[in-house]
Amino acid sequence: MPVNDVVDGYAYPARVRFELTEKDIDSYLRASDFLNINNVDLVCLQFEYGIFGGKAGSHILTLLRGLRMPIVTTLHTILKTPDPDQRRVLEEVGALSDRLVVMSERGSEFLHDIYKVPLEKIDLIPHGIPDVPFVDPSFNKDLFGVEGKIVLLSFGLLSSNKGIENVITALPDIIARYPDIVYIVVGATHPHVIQNEGETYRLSLQWLAQQKGVESNVIFYNRFVSLEELVEFISAADIYITPYLNEAQITSGTLAYTLGAGKAVISTPYWYAQEVLSDGRGLLVPFKDPAALAKQVINLLENEAERHAMRKRAYKFGRAMIWSEVAQRYMESFKRARAERRHYIPPNLSVKALDKHPWELPPLKLNHLKNMTDDTGMFQHALFTVPNYSHGYTTDDNARALLVSILLDELGSSESQELAFRYLAFLGFAFNTQTKRFRNFMDYQRNWLEDIGSDDSHGRAILALGTVLSHSHSPAFNSMAGWLFEQSMPAIIKTTSPRAWAFALLGIHEYSKKFAGDRRASNVRDELAGRLLSLYQNNRSDEWQWYENELSYCNAALSHALLTCGQSIPDKVMTAAGLESLNWLTDLQRSTAGHFVPIGSNGFYQKGGDRARFDQQPIEAQAMVSACLEAYRITTDKRWHKEARRAFEWFLGRNDLNLPIYDPTTGGCRDGLHPDRPNNNQGAESTLAFLQSLLELRLAEQTHLSTEVLVK
């Protein structure tokens, strides 16, 4: 079951029955169903963070959670210092797998010591290699036109962490002693490097060779090679070199292949090399030390007897790594997995009460979002499901859309980048450099209808920009968003809307996750947070635990902002006020039947007055979902996760009319709930409110489910 990282996929042989789409989480769900209904006996997963979609490859967890058969996972990367997402994903992969295969002793140690996997669950199986004869390097040199030459070889997908430049830098000293040296670099540039950087690294190596005067001694074989070709290249090498730049590599297929072919090997001391080249099976040189590398190459060439003794030790060691031996070890691991699985009921097959069963979220559908977006940005309103050109665009909606596109990227959506480009460009155009404020309303002809937009639109823009800076890995996005964030942030101090302050505070909170040392951002945060806290303290009573004498729109955002400030400043009084006000609001917005009932926009709710039951707006449900998820992250109290789900279920029909607000046929969301029917127009605010809620819950569910699996 291969993973496609391009839309059109690849040409696979007929035996491939199912293909995963890297960034489409729903394809992982379909894959688990496919494997289950075909009664597969066992799944063998090859795990590497960069293969699968989602943060740190988290999409693969969706597949593993749904499988009913034993799972044996081979770990190609085991990090010594994982970030929180990498740790979470690998720990859950370990919890969901029946057996874990590592390819080195150090991998087993890391898995046990860092990720707390029991040693009895780990199988050490070496990296497989082809069974090739022990031959003289001169045997195949004529195939490549290098007969009579001394061949140094490196191979593998080319990227800047390979350290090839250090070998080229070492060549002048080697050539001075052995002029008939040729250095062959076999392998195409890594596809992801091509996509992001082009051939910059390979070109830099070519320029370096010219600068060092060794261009006639360096050969780049820039293509993917078949196994047969690769074996021929290896057999022609006198010395194989792996000059990687850092130690954090737990295995290396290229090193395994050459070691098992009986090559003399010189390597930098990354973890796998330290282990397999010990006991005289190879030589280690310091990282980024061309002089030491040159010295060892010359030493090996001058000591032929030692070089051949090294080759023999390597070849004998590699006999346990040939594919037939490795296959037998895997069969033993598979048998253990199946035998152990018989003794317990897998968690995904156990009988569970509804409150213990994983909650199923609707599938992600972006049709309406894309229909509402043109080359300028996202339209403000729709007539039913058709964009309403007469109302043009707003910064409010394009800021929301930018935030949603960044959440899409967080979940690995392949369409997120193109959408984010448009929405970020809109914010850039909306920013008025004279007033340092965002304009809000633009007509269909791209004419701005004001010089200064609303306070709320300015706050929402800061929220979206802060989210970009916290989560995006695109240098272009970050440069643009960083400039806009810096230019627009001071103006928020002059605004008077508490909701604008709240949106800006949420944006500054996101921004500070990466740039906590920015004093100006901290000062703005402290000022706005102080204002919100003062509002709460001045208006709060036992009967009315709120910031103002009115509940109006986007209410939960006020509590949400104060919660984040309480954590980041930190300030326990702010955290307590945020939790207290949110608790009061959730109780107020819960019907006697138990469903979510937002404050209606047809009159809102004045203290001491009558509360408006309708028209209920999707933005209220979104604000509540976001705030309750923040409360859950801070307190780990599952009650807050349930409140977030309650608010989200309002979209799905658990509301006063028992009618869905979300439209699964379009992926859009209706504009609200009237006393007798939903508003069937599907505008930007409503659709984005639903999508933001869905995406935030999906991200939270990943962490929530991981925690439950690890606890078991």
Asked whether the beta carbons of 86 and 49 are under 8 A apart, the reply is yes
The residue written with tokens 């789900």 in the block is: 645
Q: Which domain holds residue 72?
A: 3-128+324-351
Q: Are strands 431-432 and 71-75 parallel, antiparallel or unpaired?
A: unpaired
Which is nearest to 678 in space by CA: 298, 311, 385? 385
Q: Report if residue 660 sits inside a domain.
A: yes
Which pTM value belongs to this model? 0.72
Distances (CA, A) of 404 to 107, 167, 397, 692, 694: 38, 46, 10, 6, 10
Task: Please work out, in degrees rounded to the nearest 5, the angle formed at the alpha carbon of residue 655 by the alpha carbons of 654 and 658.
Answer: 75
Q: What is the pLDDT of residue 394?
A: 98
- Residues 280, 336: one domain? no
The residue written with tokens 């250095």 in the block is: 183
H/E stretch holding 508: helix 498-512
Encoded amino acid at 37, one letter: I
- Residues 90, 141: one domain? no
> Looking at residue 169, what DSSP letter applies?
H
**CA–CA separation, 487 vs 492, rounded Å?**
11
- Residues 444, 487: one domain? yes
Q: Report if residue 602 sits inside a domain.
A: yes
CATH code, 310: 3.40.50.2000
The residue written with tokens 């109290």 in the block is: 637
Alpha helix (H) residue ranges in 156-244: 164-177, 191-197, 200-212, 227-235
Q: Report if residue 86 sits inside a domain.
A: yes
**CA–CA separation, 185 vs 266, rounded Å?**
15
Q: What is the pLDDT of residue 87?
A: 94
Asked whether the beta carbons of 225 and 259 are under 8 A apart, the reply is no
Asked whether the beta carbons of 132 and 231 are under 8 A apart, the reply is yes
Q: What is the pLDDT of residue 310?
A: 96
Asked whether the beta carbons of 184 and 144 are under 8 A apart, the reply is yes
Q: Report if residue 266 sits inside a domain.
A: yes
- Residues 230, 331: one domain? no
- Residues 331, 446: one domain? no
Segment 104-139, tens digit of pLDDT: 999 999 999 999 999 999 999 999 999 999 988 988
Q: What one-character-per-residue DSSP string does 274-290 give?
A: HHHTTTTTSEE--TT-H
Q: Which residues pair with 267 in a beta bridge?
A: 242, 284
CATH code, 422: 1.50.10.10
* E strand residue ranges, 562-701: 605-606, 662-663, 668-669
> Looking at residue 74, what DSSP letter applies?
E
For 13-56, give the secondary structure using H, E and C. CCCCCCCEECCCHHHHHHHHHHHHHCCCCCEEEEECCCCCCCHH
CATH code, 121: 3.40.50
Q: Are strands 437-438 and 431-432 parallel, antiparallel or unpaired?
A: antiparallel
**CA–CA separation, 34 vs 280, rounded Å?**
48
Asked whether the beta carbons of 678 and 661 are under 8 A apart, the reply is yes
Q: Report if residue 360 sits inside a domain.
A: no
Residue 505 is encoded by which pair of tokens? 């505070």
Q: Report if residue 359 sits inside a domain.
A: no
**CA–CA separation, 478 vs 185, rounded Å?**
35
Q: Report if residue 544 sits inside a domain.
A: yes
Residues of the chain with pLDDT under 70: 342-359, 703-712
| Sheet (strand 99-102) strand order | 43-47, 71-75, 99-102, 122-124
> Looking at residue 353, what DSSP letter applies?
-
DSSP 3-state assignment of 123? Answer: strand
Q: What is the pLDDT of residue 196?
A: 73
Contacts of 523 (CB under 8 A, 6+ apart): none
**CA–CA separation, 666 vs 144, rounded Å?**
58
Q: Which long-range contacts (CB under 8 A, 24 or more apart) does 636-644 make?
A: 641/700, 641/704, 643/586, 644/697, 644/700
- Residues 584, 665: one domain? yes
For 528-597, give the secondary structure using H, E and C. HHHHHHHHHHHHCCCCCCCCCCEECCCCHHHHHHHHHHHHHCCCHHHHHHHHHHHHHHHHHCECCCCCEC
- Residues 549, 596: one domain? yes
Asked whether the beta carbons of 581 and 542 are under 8 A apart, the reply is no
Asked whether the beta carbons of 443 and 392 are under 8 A apart, the reply is yes
- Residues 66, 159: one domain? no
Q: What is the pLDDT of residue 456?
A: 98
Which is nearest to 464 in space by CA: 518, 398, 526? 398
- Residues 20, 66: one domain? yes
Q: Report if residue 357 sits inside a domain.
A: no
Q: What is the pLDDT of residue 350?
A: 42
Encoded amino acid at 29, one letter: L
Domain count, the chain: 3
Q: What is the pLDDT of residue 342?
A: 62
- Residues 300, 406: one domain? no
Buried/exposed code over 542-572 (b: 16+ C-beta within 10 A; e: otherwise) = eeebbbbeebbebbbbbbbbbbbbbbbbebe
Asked whether the beta carbons of 140 and 311 are under 8 A apart, the reply is no
Asked whether the beta carbons of 245 and 287 are under 8 A apart, the reply is yes
Q: What is the pLDDT of residue 89?
A: 94
- Residues 467, 595: one domain? yes
- Residues 152, 261: one domain? yes
